[in-house]
Structure 1
Amino acid sequence: MTIKRLVAAMLLATSSNSVLAEESFTVQDIQVEGLQRVALGAALNNLPFTVGDTVTDYSLSRSIRALYSAGHFDDIKVYRDGNTVIFRVRERPTINAIEFDGNKDIKEEQLLESLSGYKVETGEPLDKTVLKSIENGLVEFYHGVGKYQAEVNMDVTYLPRNRVDLKVKFEEGDAASVRQINIVGNKLFSDEELLKNIESLQDLPWWRFMSSDRYQKQTLQGDIEKITSYYLDRGYLRFNIDSSQVSVSPDKTSVYVTLNVTEGEQYTINGVKFVGDLIGQDEFINQVLPIKNGQLYNGALVTYTEESISKLLARFGYANSKVRTIPKINDDNKDVELTISVEPGKRVYVRRIAVSGNANTKDEVVRRELRQMEGAWLSNDALELSKQRIQRLPYIESVEFETLPVAGIDDLVDVGFNIKEQPSGSFNAGISYGNYMGLSFQVGVQQENFFGSGNSAGINLSTNKYQKSLSLSYTDPYFTLDGISLGGQLFYSDLDYSSASSNLEAYNYTRYGAGASIGYPINEYNRLNFGANYVVNKINSIQEYDQLRHFRAVLLDAQNPDGGYRFTNYELSAGWVRSTLNRGLFPTAGHYLGATVKATTPNSDLKYYKMVFEARNYIPLSNDHSWSFLSKVELGYGNGYGSDEGYDFTLPFTENFNAGGSNLRGFESRIIGPHAIFRSADSVPGLPGSGQSGFPTGPEDDHYQVSQRSIGGNAMAVATLELITPTPFLSDDYRNSVRTSIFVDAGNVWDTEFDIDRYAGLTQLQNGQRQPGLIDYADPGLIRATAGVSLQWISPMGPLTFSLAKIIKKQEGDLQENFSFNIGTTF
């Protein structure tokens, strides 16, 4: 005890003498030597004392640490000369440039962002102590993606004026493949059944070169979760993956994965109750609750229930709700009681909505599509609907929104909609080449966002060997604040087939007039449209064919049979559109339904009606919608109503449906469907000396010819199946403006009024040669089909479409058009 007291006394004396010996002095001057780039004031600001302060040796040691913490110096020494404190420093070199070499798996942008986290940036001082940490971090990343042979070295090159160049050298090596995945402890499900649900692939044969068995740490973690979910979704509540080991082969080219599992037993649900605040929606939530007593526990169903309740609360402004399920497990009875805790939190309101990215489109055009209002509570449904409505506009490529909390207020947020526009003007042109028509061309300008107003204006001119047309149109989709649209159009066309020597159905058709349309929104997805047109028609130089007999009987002036046909029609139309498409151009999800009925009024020269129905359905096949499936149907039917002097009105041939070209790719335009039949009488020689060359025989001896091209029909059905795929060799940045697809088109055009019995027993002649029997143009079963690939691009001139198709099934007389190119057409 005496010795311990003696030691303690000696230590205390030593400590006291040290404190008394520490000398203090008043600083009269501070000098910093070795500064090059760092300003003297910046260095002095980091010191814990200034001139006039009393300091000790301890204060000086603290000052060194303070200067080091500023990050400007590699070496610092402090000296005392009387009452002057002198710091001698060596500044850290400034990074002049950063270069990367050999990196393939990591983009330079990612590397620069990662280095900035270590404050390694151009123009900044270099702290060499962090270089090793950066190297190790990058190597660890490569190990995580299966590249165990990777090496990373950071070379520093010193330059004059205390500058350095930093070069990061990568030797990535090859990725290790998954040689084998073993699951130990599973008895209920085989390895094959469990492994077919995961993304990691093992020991692939050579012929599966399109797949990858590359090991990636993140992928394996996801696979472990999938296996866990597989058991939890089937009631195995106590399932657990006890351990996972990844062994690397000596040559670092392969890995072996082993998972040790405990399966446990199945548990059933024995009661579900709620705690917390259900904001008065208790009855509704209980009615739609998918979890029922007595069923097996299902982890996916529990998660779905939590998400559904959160979405329901978000509809009423509770955007920050917390919903969690607390299981109370009874291992004796193998059941579980679920308690769903609901904490809605505060109702969140929207203070302000900002729109950005709309360089060409006025703010009001975007805001009128919003269903989330400022001052109202925040609703995820309203935000998603707003995004969808904006994205349906044909001049918007993509829309994203974000909610930003207001600083200091926990129940207010600001909402920002960021818009990416796409070309709203369209140079509408078409170029195609066929065996018969040769080169045809049309041109026009359509502006879907006229001066940023959201209004549509267009002028279209079409001209080719046989046709000239001009149309002017203008539509205001928001003529009223309620979304009532108003539009008008003027049009003129002159179709001249009278000089077409190889076109047997020659005629000249002039059409002009004016029209107006109005639309009424029913709800967010449905709309009614109404229209009226005044149309003047003139048809001259027509080469009469047999299907025109009713048309001729009604309109032809017996006193002037060469005067052609002149008729004026007053057209009324009504239509219904339902659209849930996610985008205006290049949609990938949702459906479109459209039906239109057009009819002439009873005081028109011709009395007829025409109905068109279109349905499109897009089904996304991948989460990012890069793969999608399109099914499309177009149906049309028209006919006349009433009669005139015993002749029934029929659909005029100028209103016939046509197929081929854009709606049946691979066939020439106006080639599918009924052809014109030209009927001629046979004759017998006249009697010798009578002066007559011959006499016509009866109708039963007529012969006939069939035109080379279709005149169309009063009924049409066309269907399309299309697989939309990612465009090869193209960045994801262009996914919304370029589309590649594989398609199958099938359909037919027919004439329900055609009577093939009129031509029974007659002879068909073509170029003086007897031909086989006539096709029944009233048969809807004469289906044509094609298959091919299509590339579409929303270019600055408008949508461009390239199609390459091959005919699968055709009928006699059909002409193919393997390649076509159009501007201004999208599918």
Structure 2
Amino acid sequence: MKKQIKRLRVRTVAAVCVLAFAANSWAVDPFTVRDIRVEGLQRVEPGTVFASLPFRVGDQYNDDKGSAAIRALFALGLFKDVRLEVQGDVLIVAVEERPTVADVDFVGTREFDKDTLKKALRDIGLTEGRPYDQALADRAEQELKRQYINRSLYGAEVVTTVTPIERNRVNLTFTVSEGEPTRIKDIRIIGAQAFPEKTLRDQMDLDTGGWLSWYTKSDRYSRTKLNADLEALRSYYLRRGFLEFRIDSTQVAISPDKQDISVTVNITEGERYVVSGVRLEGDYLGKGEEFKTLVKIKPGEPYNADQVTETTKAFTEYFGNFGYAFAQVEARPEIDRANNRVAFVLVADPSRRAYVRRINISGNNRTRDEVVRREFRQFESSWYDAEKIKLSRDRIDRLGFFKEVNVETSDVPGSPDQVDLNIVVAEKPTGSLQLGAGFSSAEKLALSFSVKQENAFGTGNYLGIEVNTSKFNRTIAFSSVNPYFTPNGISRAFDLYHRSSRPYNDQGGNYQLVTSGAGLRFGIPFSEVDTVFFGLGFERTQIKPGTNIPAVYLAYADRFGFTSSTVPVTVGWSRDDRDSALVPTTGRLMRVAGEAGVAGDARYLRTNLQYQQYFALSRLYTLAFNGELGWGKGFNDRPFPVFKNFYSGGLGSVRGFDQGTLGPKDVTGSSIGGAKKLTLNAEFIAPFPGTGNDRTLRWYAFADVGNVFGENDPFEVQELRASAGLGLSWLSPIGPLRIAIAQPVRKKPGDRIQRFQFQIGTSF
């Protein structure tokens, strides 16, 4: 009897549905599967197919299992055609694989880097080596358009070209016509009465453009930016008493040619309310008076939402200091609309006290657990302490090893009085190999090379080699820092260096000061914010004669020799609570450093004090002050070593005067510095006009006062030099740039004036 072969072929999901309705005509009598063969595979492993089949050799086969097999194989996304063929009691699975994406390329992209676009497509599943799917390609087009819309390029068009190549592969090319950016033509705020519309628009980062919009892109619409601006607008009103302010709607209209956008914000200001009083209700653990000291809401003043938020946050954190991790504090307003007054009732529910059962650390794939754990001031099996947890989080962040540090609290199932702390970190590269170049009006071209590893082998230790060369200063140095030399947090630093330098205005002379030395320093944390440093070293300084060498150098060398050796002892203290090292707006920096030569040829004391203070006048403006005081004195009937002198003038001290030229001068006219230094600086810092709130480009107005004095010269006010001017600070793509245009307002004959000064550095 001739065997009958019945074939079942399904090309689409719709065909599977048709199969269900035509079951009678396509029906195969159930049978026991003796063998299963797979045909048509090129890159897919046979095991992938077998694992998806709902039956095995020896199982009973029927139509339902066949339909389930087809659905399962299509669901893999690897095949564009699947057939089941029955030959007696042998089942044949015939497949046709989808082509594989061999390459993804972009043509016509200027706004984005190709790697950025490839990452966006990778996130939706389209990348080299993955099966090609037309639906996925269509989705990729939409994703690319979305990326361009986020950059306000609403007219961007994307065309996909699929090119088949050998071995069942395809190349995908996305040809992009970006067009011109859609720019904001108009921003309207409807319903504003208490404040001028221009004042309200100034609170927003989005604007209608200015002469620097090519840099800031503030006239390019973005929904994310608009949402942030709406929050800024709401915050502006809520800080000024408008308790019931609301944003009713926003309309964004785009012109037919997709070149202009109009933004309309409809608001209802409501009435302005004054705080009439604040009272506490609930359980305050018998510490009501202590909580009252934390209240930031001020009766008699206009309602301020920031004060309410600060108060509830301070209350919650203070509860946390006593172990109440689940405390709830609600600020309930009691509104008197007849008199436009509002009273606040602060209702507290401390809930239950909690212990920290376990501290879990994740995300530190390279950094050792102990490096993170030793920064923690909250311990396991101790009361939950919010203040210690915040301090711990800040200490981990200040390590500089992580892009993100998050502390999450999770309940312990079955233990209502216990919590776990989950520390989630995202590591960042901490090693660098750099070649650098810098240019300044004082030092001209300077080259540098450095190899640094701030987290060597995940131990938290620092290792570094630095080489620097310039017209006036050259350095080669090796340094190593172990921040936890002892379990108590005492740090140890070792330095080995060789430096050669000469004064900034040597008038073409070729004499040099060459210093070689080594030092060992320790840092002892006396509190969470105060660290005291002390160290011991050995230093050898050589005066190399040359043309135009100042007479004071020769006089020192004639008396004590051209080579001096000393054993310097260093002691210092620092505290830094600025909000940023690059663009600070609040906080202060204090440093005190002392160095004493206690043995060897040079006996001296050299001290330096620095104090910086930043005040945030508003969201846009910052006032900054800096003061430095240096003082040196020779011991044992020896003068203060000339090679330890302070210098003043130029960027970093008194702008408007040539770099390092203030103070005592030799008979040759060369500046030789002095044993005493005083510098005072004040700056008013603001965003550059047309840049909105961009903190990377700022201008500043400044006033400087200062000078250096000889060891035996008194500080004389009439000898101080002063200048004032304007400057520009830009965190440019090629490095920090600082420009100053200064006018000396107090100078004397013989001073070397340099009104324009700049400095820029880069790594490449």
Determine whether 1:614 maps to 2:646.
no
Determine the structure 2 residue equivalent to 1:120.
Answer: 126
Query: Which whole-Å deviations, capped at 9, do the CAs of 1:53-105 have from their partners, x for residues lacking one?
Result: 44543443333222222222222344555555444432222222222333344
Determine the structure 1 residue equivalent to 2:588.
Answer: 591
CA contact (8 A) 1:96 1:164 kept: yes
State the 1:254 CA deviation: 0.8
Query: Which whole-Å deviations, capped at 9, do the CAs of 1:320-350 have from their partners, x for residues lacking one?
Result: 7766656576777865765656577754455
| SS of match in other structure, 1:103 | coil
783, 786, 799: which one pairs with 2:721? 783
Letter aligned with residue 458 of structure 1: L
Letter aligned with residue 449 of structure 1: V
Determine the structure 2 residue equivalent to 1:171.
Answer: 177
The 1:303/1:804 distance shift into structure 2, 3 A limit, reads closer
Determine the structure 1 residue equivalent to 2:422.
Answer: 413
| SS of match in other structure, 1:181 | strand
The 1:399/1:264 distance shift into structure 2, 3 A limit, reads closer
Letter aligned with residue 236 of structure 2: Y
The 1:507/1:210 distance shift into structure 2, 3 A limit, reads same
Alignment of 1:373-388 (within 5 A): 382=388, 385=391
706, 717, 726: which one pairs with 1:747? 706
Determine the structure 2 residue equivalent to 1:39.
Answer: 45
2-side partners of 1:460 and 1:791: how far apart?
32
| SS of match in other structure, 2:669 | strand
State the 1:747 CA deviation: 1.7
State the 1:242 CA deviation: 2.9
516, 520, 523: which one pairs with 1:475? 520
State the 1:502 CA deviation: 7.5
Determine the structure 2 residue equivalent to 1:260.
Answer: 266
CA contact (8 A) 1:431 1:441 kept: yes
CA contact (8 A) 1:722 1:744 kept: yes
Letter aligned with residue 401 of structure 1: V
TM-score, normalisation: structure 1: 0.64
Determine the structure 2 residue equivalent to 1:10.
Answer: none
Determine the structure 2 residue equivalent to 1:26.
Answer: 31
The 1:217/1:98 distance shift into structure 2, 3 A limit, reads same
Alignment of 1:599-678 (within 5 A): 612-617=608-613, 631-636=625-630, 658-660=647-649, 663-664=653-654, 671-674=661-664
2-side partners of 1:57 and 1:168: how far apart?
43
| SS of match in other structure, 1:71 | coil
2-side partners of 1:479 and 1:55: how far apart?
78
The 1:164/1:19 distance shift into structure 2, 3 A limit, reads closer
| SS of match in other structure, 2:161 | strand
The 1:170/1:342 distance shift into structure 2, 3 A limit, reads farther
| SS of match in other structure, 1:95 | strand
CA contact (8 A) 1:431 1:821 kept: no
CA contact (8 A) 1:486 1:516 kept: no
User: Percent of aligned pairs with the same residue?
Assistant: 29
CA contact (8 A) 2:363 2:425 kept: yes
| SS of match in other structure, 2:228 | helix
The 1:253/1:46 distance shift into structure 2, 3 A limit, reads same
The 1:289/1:820 distance shift into structure 2, 3 A limit, reads closer
CA contact (8 A) 1:614 1:635 kept: yes
Question: Which range moved further: 475-484 or 799-808?
Answer: 799-808
Alignment of 1:90-105 (within 5 A): 90-105=96-111
Q: How many residues align?
A: 666
Query: Which whole-Å deviations, capped at 9, do the CAs of 1:126-154 have from their partners, x for residues lacking one?
Result: 23223323323433443454322122233
CA contact (8 A) 1:26 1:52 kept: no
Determine the structure 1 residue equivalent to 2:749.
Answer: 812
CA contact (8 A) 2:356 2:380 kept: no
Question: Which range moved further: 69-78 or 503-512?
Answer: 503-512
The 1:156/1:633 distance shift into structure 2, 3 A limit, reads same
State the 1:125 CA deviation: 1.7
The 1:313/1:460 distance shift into structure 2, 3 A limit, reads farther
Determine the structure 2 residue equivalent to 1:488.
Answer: 536
Query: Which whole-Å deviations, capped at 9, do the CAs of 1:207-240 have from their partners, x for residues lacking one?
Result: 8765542222222222233333333334444433
Query: Which whole-Å deviations, capped at 9, do the CAs of 1:549-595 have from their partners, x for residues lacking one?
Result: xxxxxxxxxxxxxxxxxxxxxxxxxx665444678999886433345
Determine the structure 1 residue equivalent to 2:678.
Answer: 717
2-side partners of 1:208 and 1:256: how far apart?
17
2-side partners of 1:498 and 1:80: how far apart?
100
Determine the structure 1 residue equivalent to 2:228.
Answer: 222
Alignment of 1:225-624 (within 5 A): 225-267=231-273, 282-291=288-297, 296-312=302-318, 325=331, 335=342, 340=347, 346-348=354-356, 351=359, 371=377, 382=388, 385=391, 400-403=404-407, 411-414=420-423, 416=425, 418=427, 420-421=430-431, 423=452, 424-425=463-464, 427=466, 431-432=470-471, 443=475, 445-449=477-481, 454-462=492-500, 465-466=510-511, 468=513, 470-477=515-522, 487-493=535-541, 495=543, 503=551, 507-509=555-557, 510=560, 512=564, 514-515=566-567, 517=569, 529=571, 577-580=574-577, 590-595=587-592, 612-617=608-613
CA contact (8 A) 2:573 2:592 kept: yes
Letter aligned with residue 614 of structure 1: Q
| SS of match in other structure, 1:115 | helix
Letter aligned with residue 405 of structure 2: F
Question: Which range moved further: 40-49 or 320-329?
Answer: 320-329
1-side partners of 2:370 and 2:595: how far apart?
34
2-side partners of 1:144 and 1:606: how far apart?
65
1-side partners of 2:546 and 2:178: how far apart?
72
Letter aligned with residue 589 of structure 2: Y
Determine whether 1:159 maps to 2:165.
yes
TM-score, normalisation: structure 2: 0.68
State which structure, 1 or 2, has the greater radius of gyration over its C-alpha atoms. Answer: 1
| SS of match in other structure, 1:155 | strand
State the 1:120 CA deviation: 2.2
The 1:669/1:54 distance shift into structure 2, 3 A limit, reads closer
Determine the structure 1 residue equivalent to 2:153.
Answer: 147
CA contact (8 A) 1:234 1:296 kept: yes
| SS of match in other structure, 2:627 | strand
- Residue segments in structure 1 that go unaligned for 5+ positions in a row: 1-17, 433-439, 519-528, 530-574, 643-648, 677-705, 728-734, 756-776, 794-798
CA contact (8 A) 2:98 2:131 kept: yes
| SS of match in other structure, 1:251 | coil
Aligned alpha-carbon RMSD (Å):
5.7
Determine the structure 2 residue equivalent to 1:191.
Answer: 197
2-side partners of 1:298 and 1:619: how far apart?
20
CA contact (8 A) 1:632 1:719 kept: yes
Determine the structure 1 residue equivalent to 2:505.
Answer: none
CA contact (8 A) 1:95 1:122 kept: yes
1-side partners of 2:314 and 2:167: how far apart?
63
1-side partners of 2:727 and 2:480: how far apart?
28
CA contact (8 A) 1:431 1:820 kept: no
Determine the structure 1 residue equivalent to 2:9.
Answer: none
CA contact (8 A) 1:497 1:508 kept: no
Letter aligned with residue 25 of structure 1: P
State the 1:195 CA deviation: 2.1
| SS of match in other structure, 2:180 | coil
Letter aligned with residue 295 of structure 2: L
1-side partners of 2:737 and 2:264: how far apart?
51
CA contact (8 A) 2:728 2:739 kept: yes
CA contact (8 A) 1:800 1:821 kept: no
CA contact (8 A) 2:605 2:634 kept: yes
State the 1:261 CA deviation: 3.1
State the 1:253 CA deviation: 0.7
1-side partners of 2:760 and 2:252: how far apart?
55
State the 1:477 CA deviation: 0.8
The 1:143/1:514 distance shift into structure 2, 3 A limit, reads closer
1-side partners of 2:687 and 2:431: how far apart?
21
Query: Which whole-Å deviations, capped at 9, do the CAs of 1:755-786 have from their partners, x for residues lacking one?
Result: 9xxxxxxxxxxxxxxxxxxxxx9563441548
2-side partners of 1:801 and 1:253: how far apart?
34
140, 154, 164: which one pairs with 1:134? 140
The 1:209/1:591 distance shift into structure 2, 3 A limit, reads same
